[in-house]
Amino acid sequence: MLLPAFVLLTLAFCFRQDTSDNEGTLSQTIVEVLENYHYEPKLINDKFSKELFDLYLKRLDSDKRFFLKADIDSLKKYELALDDQAKEGRYQFFDVVNAMHLSRVARAEVYYKEFLAKPFDFKTNEYLDFDEEHPVYLNTDAELKEFWRKNLKRQVLERLSSKMDIQERAQTKKDTFVKIKPYDTLELEARKEVLKNHTDWFSRLKKFDKKDKLSMYINCMTEIFDPHTNYFPPADKENFDIRMSGKLEGIGAQLQEKDGFLKVASIVPGSPSYKQGQLKGGDIILKVAQGAAEPVDVTNMKIDDAIKLIRGKKGTEVRLTVRKPDETIVIIPIIRDVVVMEDTYAKSMIIEKDGQKYGYINLPSFYVDMNDNNGRSCANDVAEEIKKLKQDKIKGIILDLRNNGGGSLGDVVKMGGLFIDQGPMCLVKPRQSSPEVLKDNDGNVLWDGALTIMVNESSASASEILAAAMQDYKRATIIGTPTFGKGTVQTFFDLDQGMGRADADKLGSIKITIQKFYRINGATTQLVGVTPDVIIPDRYRYLKFGEKENEFALGADKIMKAPYSITSNWESKIKNSAVKSDKRIKENSLFQEIEVFAQKIEKLNSKTRFTLNLTEYREEIKQSEADNKKYEEMMKGIQTLKVSNTSKDDKEISNDEIKRKVKADWNKSFEKDIYIQEAVNVLKDLN
């Protein structure tokens, strides 16, 4: 049984959907694949069983608001049996704990309805003690009920205070559109809103059926091997492919679940829905029909199931029965087509400063069309953006990899080759084998000028490979915050074809870690990430985030470096640019204030005691609002960048009003980005 050749470096995770009715086969197949193909296989033994026991309970009840300690104690008899059950395709623990969970959810449903039926007293001095990172199971029904009371009281308190703020602002501004209401009315409205939220939440919990829970249970099994090994039921694999390619065959409407209804959140510009013209944001989809076939009612249907009915092959018709905001009911026929989600693709713009032009390229992910060898890929798209920028005589390029969670390994190597003549880009080590050097061999350089690469804590995997390679070659100044720290490679294994089950019920796929990758200097990015040449203060830099926070993450290590040489003349300029940038950042009052805010956010995030007194809470909120207002005022004072389209983009979209507006809005979103402004300063220093 051979693994597919396509490999991934990404932060994408799977969550749920359909599984085969043959549950026992699924469990046994997953175990076999994990044991035979995972990069660092674990023994399916009592230790594994205990980890699976703890992890599944955590997934079902992460805040420990449903189960009591006695419930967990009663389940302990299964604690060391789950390894055997997995190997034998049995689910005794799974069935017992799910039945118990449904019972405890029903108990909690009584709690919230009881407590939200009458007013809370917010004058008393009491507190909710809750450690989100380390919650504990409570001992008695009375303790659990009291926890629910305080938790609900806190939620009502937050909404009540917000409503009081609106009233106060309206009175100050003499706003005649806001009706001034007494305290009792505001408190009642706040309780009703919390009641509605919980009613919706419990409705979703009830829709989370056995198939959904089985997918979650199997994913707990895979996560124990490492956090990036995931089980994908058939529908989830399809969704993953769509995210990787940036396109789907459908109607181009962004949908959301609202009060049991399927609501249109927005329409993708240029999509079939946009061109047809009748479907609008705010519409409620009541029924879905395949052409002239009998329509299916989608009210109270899980959103994933409803979307499956709406999506379909290019050229086919779907008819939507829609309720408009004015309560009229219309039937809207739409011919499905390929919907391209442009926000997922690389885009560029020109930044002008001090009479010079600089290029900016934003790359949201390392995308590739997994089902079409001639489809779009990020390496080809970035190359095209560089060509556009070069036509406009730019003096340097910023490649923005912030929040880029990774993707295609092959495109990383190809993209790195755009900036160096040739050489290794990374080392990839398979299970129990020597490392393989992945090289760019074409000898061509598309851009040999000044280069900065922007990263942050959400830049992961493929982003880290590219940033690390350019750092090791002394080719670019890396600027931002330390990256995520994912140094592993995954591939998809089709459980049906791989296990000789092509004619059986579909089991789905497993995304499995098969390799670790390393920098060309032999160091790992696993856990440690990439440390930028220039570290810029960020509001969220102290929050716990990254691969190191994953309980089952693979460890960091080092191997022999690849044979490579530094042939560019950028090394001294990069060092100089980093020194100058560091000096600017330390002297920049705004960056220093951001550092102060980062420390405050860290403190707030570690808070474990929350007041339930209205007066005390509103004092805390006023202080936070004052801090936020100060921050917002500082942001307003940021100098606006002068940005524009490339000449080629201007020409291509000149006759398309929609594309012009979309691109103009995209350009504008970066005008006051202080981090990009510093990246431009770095480019100036590199020239």
- CATH number for 288: 2.30.42.10
Q: Please say which residue of 283, 312, 340 terminates a domain.
A: 340
Residues 189, 138 share a domain: yes
Residues 6+ apart with CB under 8 A from 605: 543
For helices 210-223 and 23-37, the axis angle rounded to 10 degrees is 20
State the pLDDT at residue 500. Answer: 54
Placement of tokens 């089902």 in the chain: 371
pLDDT tens-digit map of 107-121? 999 999 999 999 999
Q: Please say which residue of 340, 368, 403 terminates a domain.
A: 340
Residues 551, 498 share a domain: yes
682 vs 603 pLDDT, higher one = 682
Residues 484 and 430 sit within 8 Å (Cβ to Cβ)? no
62 vs 20 pLDDT, higher one = 62
Above 60 in pLDDT, residue 498? Answer: no
Whole-number Å distance between alpha carbons of 104 and 288:
35
Whole-number Å distance between alpha carbons of 36 and 352:
55
Residues 167, 78 share a domain: yes
Above 50 in pLDDT, residue 534? Answer: yes
Q: Give the distance, in angstroms, between the CA of residue 421 and the centroid of all CA atoms in the same chain.
A: 34
**Amino acid in the structure at residue 385:** E
Above 80 in pLDDT, residue 370? Answer: no
Whole-number Å distance between alpha carbons of 367 and 47:
37
Q: How far is CA 389 from CA 386, 466, 584, in A?
A: 5, 20, 27
State the pLDDT at residue 140. Answer: 97
State the pLDDT at residue 618. Answer: 93
Above 90 in pLDDT, residue 483? Answer: yes
537 vs 397 pLDDT, higher one = 397
Q: Which two tokens stand for residue 615?
A: 């007066």
State the pLDDT at residue 379. Answer: 94
**What string of DSSP letters covers 116-168?**
TTS----SS--EEE--SSS---BSSHHHHHHHHHHHHHHHHHHHHHHHHHHHH
**Strand 396-400 versus strand 450-455 pairing type:** parallel
Residues 414, 355 share a domain: yes
State the pLDDT at residue 15. Answer: 35
User: What is the average pLDDT score of the chain?
Assistant: 87
Above 70 in pLDDT, residue 1? Answer: no
Residues 377, 290 share a domain: no
Whole-number Å distance between alpha carbons of 627 and 623:
6
Above 60 in pLDDT, residue 244? Answer: no
CA neighbor of 596 nearest in space, from 565, 622, 630, 621: 630
Residues 521, 383 share a domain: yes
452 vs 652 pLDDT, higher one = 452
Q: Which two tokens stand for residue 564?
A: 């490579």
Residue 517 lies in a domain: yes
Residue count of the chain: 687
Please state, as a whole number, how many other Cβ atoms lie within 10 Å of the Cβ of residue 315. 9
Per-residue burial over 214-223, b = 16 or more CB atoms within 10 Å of its CB, e = otherwise: bbbbbbbbbb
Above 50 in pLDDT, residue 155? Answer: yes
504 vs 41 pLDDT, higher one = 41
Give the mean pLDDT of 94-116: 96
Q: How many domains are there within the chain?
A: 3
Above 90 in pLDDT, residue 256? Answer: no
Calculate what percentage of the chain has a pLDDT beyond 90. 57
Residue 83 lies in a domain: yes
CATH number at residue 420: 3.90.226.10
Residue 233 lies in a domain: no
Whole-number Å distance between alpha carbons of 209 and 233:
14
Residues 518 and 524 sit within 8 Å (Cβ to Cβ)? yes
Residues 526, 413 share a domain: yes
Residues 95, 158 share a domain: yes
Residue 149 lies in a domain: yes
Residues 427, 304 share a domain: no
Above 50 in pLDDT, residue 12? Answer: no
State the pLDDT at residue 560. Answer: 94
Above 60 in pLDDT, residue 161? Answer: yes
Residue 50 lies in a domain: yes
Residue 30 banded pLDDT, cuts 50, 70, 90 = very high
pLDDT tens-digit map of 654-667? 888 878 888 888 89
Residue 651 lies in a domain: yes
State the pLDDT at residue 203. Answer: 86
pLDDT tens-digit map of 191-231? 999 998 899 889 888 888 888 899 999 999 999 999 999 99
Residues 6+ apart with CB under 8 A from 380: none
Q: Give the distance, in angstroms, between the CA of residue 56 and the centroid of all CA atoms in the same chain.
A: 22
Residues 214, 258 share a domain: no
Residue 613 lies in a domain: no
**Amino acid in the structure at residue 511:** K
State the pLDDT at residue 195. Answer: 95
pLDDT tens-digit map of 353-364? 999 999 999 998
Residues 6+ apart with CB under 8 A from 108: 65, 66, 148, 202
**Amino acid in the structure at residue 23:** E
Q: Cα angle at 372 between 367 and 378, to 5 degrees?
A: 25
Give the mean pLDDT of 224-246: 73
Give the mean pLDDT of 255-279: 78
Give the mean pLDDT of 170-192: 84
Q: Which domain holds residue 93?
A: 42-224
State the pLDDT at residue 6. Answer: 41
Above 70 in pLDDT, residue 294? Answer: yes
Give the mean pLDDT of 523-535: 96
State the pLDDT at residue 277. Answer: 83
State the pLDDT at residue 340. Answer: 67
State the pLDDT at residue 81. Answer: 96
The 8-class DSSP code of residue 373 comes to: T
Q: How far is CA 615 from CA 107, 115, 527, 620, in A?
A: 32, 21, 44, 9
Residue 19 lies in a domain: no
Give the mean pLDDT of 457-486: 95
Above 50 in pLDDT, residue 343? Answer: yes
Give the mean pLDDT of 240-245: 54
Residues 103, 195 share a domain: yes
267 vs 548 pLDDT, higher one = 548
Whole-number Å distance between alpha carbons of 1 and 486:
27
Residues 557 and 488 sit within 8 Å (Cβ to Cβ)? no
Q: What is the 3-state secondary structure (H, E, C) of 178-207?
A: CCCCCHHHHHHHHHHHHHHHHHHHHHHHHH
State the pLDDT at residue 407. Answer: 86
**β-sheet bridge partners, residue 408:** 8
Please state, as a whole number, how many other Cβ atoms lie within 10 Å of the Cβ of residue 642. 11
293 vs 252 pLDDT, higher one = 293
Residues 177, 153 share a domain: yes
Q: Please say which residue of 295, 319, 340 terminates a domain.
A: 340
Please state, as a whole number, how many other Cβ atoms lie within 10 Å of the Cβ of residue 150. 19
State the pLDDT at residue 189. Answer: 95
